[in-house]
Structure 1
Amino acid sequence: MEPTTERPLPVQGDAAPAADAAHAAQATAGTGHPPVRLLFPALILVMLLAALDQTIVSTALPTIVGELGGLDRLSWVVTAYLLTSTIVVPLYGKLGDLFGRKIVLQAAIVVFLIGSALCGVAQDMMQLIVLRAVQGVGGGGLMVVTMAAIGDVIPPAQRGKYQGLFGGVFGLATVVGPLLGGFLVEHLSWRWIFYINLPLGAVALAVIGAVFRPRTAHVKHVIDYMGAAWLAGALTCLILFTSQGGTILPWTSPQLWLTLLLGCVSVAGFIHEEQHAVEPIMPLELFRHRTFVLSSLIGFIVGVSLFGSVTFLPLYLQVVKGSTPSGAGMQMLPMMGGVLVMSVITGRIISKIGKYRMFPIAGTALVGVAMVLLARLQIATPLNQMYIYMGLLGCGLGMVMQVLILAVQNAVEFRHMGVATSGATLFRSIGGSVGVAAFGAVFSHGLSTRLEKVLTPDVELPQPLTPDVIHHLPPVLHAQYLDAFAGALHSVYLAAACVVVLSFALAWLLQDIPLRKHQ
């Protein structure tokens, strides 16, 4: 027997009943309305927790390995969270549409907090990896349901300024995560990277429970379990392929290409299942929607650009400029500031003029220019000049990321808002995973090729080649290594610039659909 649960009413556009319009107006009567004034900071906090846990662990990994061992499984501390949080994104979107976003968001927060607490008491590397996967099951829901929740209480015409703040928080967390992780490890313990989530998450949970009042109605539901299984298999294979290719496994490995083949089979199975499911996880009709397809493709490329940049810029600062890990994090502030400021400004302008198409076009152009400038970085490039390049990159990203979510939410039917939001977010997450893996392969190949040309066969570089070890190389060898490093970095950002050109072309195809005044 199918249970009865809460679900947002399938209200759309100007045809909404007068009562619903009055309800939306009452719930969104500016930022001065107490529930919105309390709810929005709680949603921001939830978004911050989810985004931080994608990057905060990176600076603590050496310390964790020193205590728990398991150096050979080190990368899985990050990959386990990324894998599960990406897999569950479309599931949470669908569950939010079926059950109502309040209960689904509360459940995601609880799972995330349980996973965080258990990660903090892990006794060996395998335990930590498994528990990070549990934490990711909750973390994937935090990000997508918070963005969809804004759609429940804020009409599209006013949603831009709120979505802009979300974009700023995402950019802030991406850059500040490694810096905060390093601070906690240095002054407390690596376990506090996970414990710090508990009081913050508890506050957010309490506020959301008290003031979040989404519009709901009782409906029967059917969960597409087979679709979920096929989707999980497809995303697992894709992320394993991109994270292991060229690093854990060589590109010639049969095992690696078998993983990709299984992923393609899973995609075919998912498409077949969604054609016949009563309540599909990701309705295929969304892929016939121009705005959704374009926003997802552009978001994928933006994810590639964002995570690829955040991965290699701190590396350049530590290896070439001699910065400490925490110092490199501080030097990334121009990029974070660009994302934060431009996300907020863009959101407010969109809410005022009611149009958004120009911003992805301008933003992708700015990202492309920044990538070309970063491809020209030299060993002697002044830091002030690099800050300008990073600021331009941040401004470009800030003009694109959350605008795409707004465009999708404004274009689709209200009953598909959650799953459409999660779909657009999913493609950006996959883009980040692919970007880090692909750019990593380009960088490693470029560095090794250049070193082979300049080093004689009798020269052997010390291992592991950390930034500190590089700084203590003999002067001639040090100069040769930095030249090769800078050249490899040029290849990465030139490749990124070429990819961004595609997103710029796609942005011109977006349609400026007038923002709805209510749900």
Structure 2
Amino acid sequence: MGDLEDEKKLEHGQQLDDGTKRPITTPDEEEKREPIASTAVVEDAPIAPLTATQSATEPVYITGVKLWTVLAAVTLIAFLMLLDTSIIATAIPQITNDFHSLPDVGWYGSAYLLTSSALQPLTGKIYTRFSTKWAFIAFFSVFELGSVLCGAANSSKMLIVGRAVAGMGTSGVQNGAMTILSASAPMHKRPMLLGIMMAVCQLGIVCGPLVGGALTQYASWRWCFYINLPIGAVAILVLLIITIPDDKNKKAPRTPSELLKILSTLDLTGFAIFAGFAVMFLLALEWGGQLYAWNSATIIGLFCGAGITFILFAIWEYRVGDEAMIPYSMIKRRIIVCSAIYIALVFGGQFVQSYYMPIYFQAIKGASPSLSGVYVLPSILSAIIMAIPSGVLVGKFGYYLPWAMACSVLFSIGSGLLTTLTPHSKTVEWVMYQVIAGFGRGCGLQIPIVAMQNDLPPQQQALGMALIGFAQTFGGAVFLVVAQLIFSHGLKSEIPKYAPEVNPQSIIDAGATKFRQFITPSQLPAVLEGYDKAIIHVFYLGTAITALSFFVSLGMGWKKIAQKKKKPVAPEA
């Protein structure tokens, strides 16, 4: 790497390119800056390495209709990713009827999550070494292949394999979408673009149960997977005809030896070790208290194996250095670490609310699955409404930390208010509580990505986004498991307090809506009180982790992002 001054210039959106040495021509400081020293080079890589004769020039971004078209394409694909995670929920009962596979239900989600989480850190290396556009298309094509396998499945095992393949594809989709937007627009425009993408794609969570229920009821559950094919094809066609700016410096391998040389830089050993850690840790969380007791040899062995493997991974990554899948030079940056922890906490809070608010509406309020999806719209719509102006204002004034702090404050207040819900809460109460929490999420959804991009040089940003994406997925998965444990324990402890004559295990086994069939009308109010208290315990968790995110946000730094540069005024003749 070059000296500190050169790195700062790279952080502000400049990139090195082929050609003769020319002076920096930043309009506002053209007369003050010196040409970049000849020692400034991009980290060693087999992708068009820079030489001493090369210099920094302003990157060429896409604008106008092309930029908004790219935004629409990647947002549509990101929407499909979240739609796929929730659309299967309402189809699972019919799937288990067709395949007689009730014991496999856990694997329909676990197979997807395991492959996605294990592969995510490696995707950063892939986007660094290969064409951004073609790598993104490749990952999405793998997801589409998984969708085909799921839709055509003739057995439960085939469906599980399809979910695993789809998870492999999704591992690089979100990272790729953010990488494409970052390469397509200057720093001051990215907060708005990322805010729009992340806010709109959240609709997938809400639309999933609605669309899945309709397709399962009026067509077939297989269309819950086939629906990804025509929609995804449109988005891919758009990307095929548009050139992504950062691909001009990435040369595709022309011979097997060049391909092997690139593959040797991907840190596949580190990936294999990390994948072992991710699989063992997530399986322990998935099986603990469900298939096996927490103190069983299986669960203890998985946790111990995950811990040992993680230590080995850390040692290996430190040994490999800057060529590692997650470079040590990145991990020791406070802003990067805090951004990853922050997004894990915020998305953990979002997942807790997104999964348990529908349970509150269905179990306590007696709403149908489709109607419960409508009832959570205040949270999603308020997040969308707030994400766009917050992104614009971050780009205008340049400071992202106030928005991260506002996100934590509003989200924790909204989550705290949700803990006051009762079986008799009025509509205005649960609507306004969700709106407050949604406004908070809208303030901060894109902030960790903005902070990371502002702190890292361009050649490491794909790695940074892979780390952020993994933290988001991994954090959400971990906190959902913790929420499930709290919820199950809450039902077992609270229902006997209010309805001692009712067996809490029968309520748990019956599900969120069918428990009403096993109790008498006179027992229902007491059971609902106990059920409500169990859900409130989960909302306490959401409140705690979102409040904790406030203190983590302070470590993201009071830094100003690169602003739009003024055009130079031509001297008068």
Corresponding residue to 1:217 among 242, 246, 249: 249
For residues 464 and 309 of structure 1, what CA distance do their matches in structure 2 show? 22
Matched residue, 2:142? 111
Distance 1:204 1:446, change over 3 A: same
Corresponding residue to 1:164 among 191, 195, 202: 195
Matched residue, 2:103? 72
- The residue type equivalent to 1:505 in the other structure is F
Verify: 1:180 aligned to 2:211, yes or no: yes
Matched residue, 1:4? none
Verify: 1:318 aligned to 2:362, yes or no: yes
User: Is contact 1:77-1:128 (8 Å) kept?
Assistant: yes
Matched residue, 2:382? 338
Give 1:38 shift: 2.3
Give 1:141 shift: 1.2
Matched residue, 1:94? 125
- The residue type equivalent to 2:473 in the other structure is S
Give 1:212 shift: 3.1
User: Is contact 1:28-1:155 (8 Å) kept?
Assistant: no
User: Is contact 2:79-2:202 (8 Å) kept?
Assistant: no
Distance 1:456 1:471, change over 3 A: closer
Give 1:377 shift: 0.5
For residues 241 and 457 of structure 1, what CA distance do their matches in structure 2 show? 34
Distance 1:458 1:242, change over 3 A: closer
Give 1:267 shift: 0.8
> What's the CA shift string for 1:335-373, capped at 9, x where partnerless?
110121111121111111111110110110111111111
User: Is contact 1:35-1:212 (8 Å) kept?
Assistant: no
Corresponding residue to 1:201 among 229, 232, 235: 232
Structure (1 or 2) with the larger CA radius of gyration: 2
For residues 142 and 302 of structure 2, what CA distance do their matches in structure 1 show? 29
For residues 28 and 458 of structure 1, what CA distance do their matches in structure 2 show? 63
Give 1:416 shift: 0.7
Corresponding residue to 2:68 among 25, 28, 37: 37
User: Is contact 1:166-1:402 (8 Å) kept?
Assistant: no
Verify: 1:232 aligned to 2:275, yes or no: yes
Give 1:241 shift: 2.1
Matched residue, 1:417? 461
Give 1:302 shift: 1.0
Matched residue, 1:465? 510
Matched residue, 1:5? none
**Secondary structure, aligned partner of 2:202:** helix
Matched residue, 1:516? 562
Give 1:11 shift: 4.4
- The residue type equivalent to 1:361 in the other structure is M
User: Is contact 1:231-1:270 (8 Å) kept?
Assistant: yes
**Secondary structure, aligned partner of 1:277:** helix
**Secondary structure, aligned partner of 2:154:** coil
For residues 374 and 202 of structure 2, what CA distance do their matches in structure 1 show? 14
> What's the CA shift string for 1:388-447, capped at 9, x where partnerless?
111111111121121111111111111110010110111111111011110110111011
Matched residue, 1:267? 310
For residues 395 and 560 of structure 2, what CA distance do their matches in structure 1 show? 11
Corresponding residue to 2:530 among 475, 479, 484: 484
> What's the CA shift string for 1:472-514, capped at 9, x where partnerless?
4212221221111111122111222122221111112321322
> What's the CA shift string for 1:203-222, capped at 9, x where partnerless?
11121121032323257632
Corresponding residue to 1:357 among 391, 401, 404: 401
Matched residue, 1:7? none
Verify: 1:291 aligned to 2:335, yes or no: yes
Matched residue, 2:545? 499
For residues 459 and 206 of structure 1, what CA distance do their matches in structure 2 show? 56
**Secondary structure, aligned partner of 2:415:** helix
Matched residue, 1:3? none
Verify: 1:440 aligned to 2:484, yes or no: yes
For residues 262 and 195 of structure 1, what CA distance do their matches in structure 2 show? 38
User: Is contact 2:14-2:56 (8 Å) kept?
Assistant: no
Matched residue, 1:27? 61
Matched residue, 1:6? none
For residues 394 and 88 of structure 1, what CA distance do their matches in structure 2 show? 30
Distance 1:299 1:45, change over 3 A: same
What TM-score comes out, normalization by structure 2 length? 0.84
**What do you get for the CA RMSD once the two structures are aligned?**
2.1
For residues 399 and 462 of structure 1, what CA distance do their matches in structure 2 show? 38
> What's the CA shift string for 1:279-327, capped at 9, x where partnerless?
2111121111111111111111112101111111100100111100000
Corresponding residue to 2:372 among 325, 328, 332: 328
For residues 294 and 229 of structure 1, what CA distance do their matches in structure 2 show? 26
Give 1:39 shift: 1.6
User: Is contact 2:207-2:373 (8 Å) kept?
Assistant: yes
Distance 1:348 1:518, change over 3 A: closer
Corresponding residue to 2:443 among 399, 416, 431: 399
**Secondary structure, aligned partner of 1:75:** helix
User: Is contact 1:363-1:395 (8 Å) kept?
Assistant: yes
Distance 1:226 1:14, change over 3 A: closer
Distance 1:88 1:65, change over 3 A: same
Sequence identity of aligned pairs in percent?
A: 27
For residues 318 and 436 of structure 1, what CA distance do their matches in structure 2 show? 19
Give 1:276 shift: 2.6
Unaligned stretches of 5+ in structure 2? 1-8, 17-23, 26-54, 252-260, 566-573
Distance 1:462 1:411, change over 3 A: closer
Verify: 1:247 aligned to 2:290, yes or no: yes
> What's the CA shift string for 1:59-99, capped at 9, x where partnerless?
11101111112101111111111111121111111100111
User: Is contact 1:87-1:232 (8 Å) kept?
Assistant: yes
User: Is contact 1:100-1:214 (8 Å) kept?
Assistant: no
**Secondary structure, aligned partner of 2:354:** helix
Give 1:243 shift: 2.1
Q: Which has the higher contact order (CA 8 A, sep 6+)?
A: 1
Give the number of equivalent residue pairs: 506
**Secondary structure, aligned partner of 2:422:** coil
- The residue type equivalent to 1:408 in the other structure is M
Corresponding residue to 1:300 among 344, 365, 371: 344
- The residue type equivalent to 1:40 in the other structure is L
**Secondary structure, aligned partner of 1:130:** helix
- The residue type equivalent to 1:170 in the other structure is C
For residues 380 and 502 of structure 2, what CA distance do their matches in structure 1 show? 44
Corresponding residue to 1:366 among 398, 410, 427: 410
Give 1:264 shift: 0.9
Distance 1:350 1:280, change over 3 A: same
**Secondary structure, aligned partner of 1:475:** coil
Give 1:459 shift: 5.7
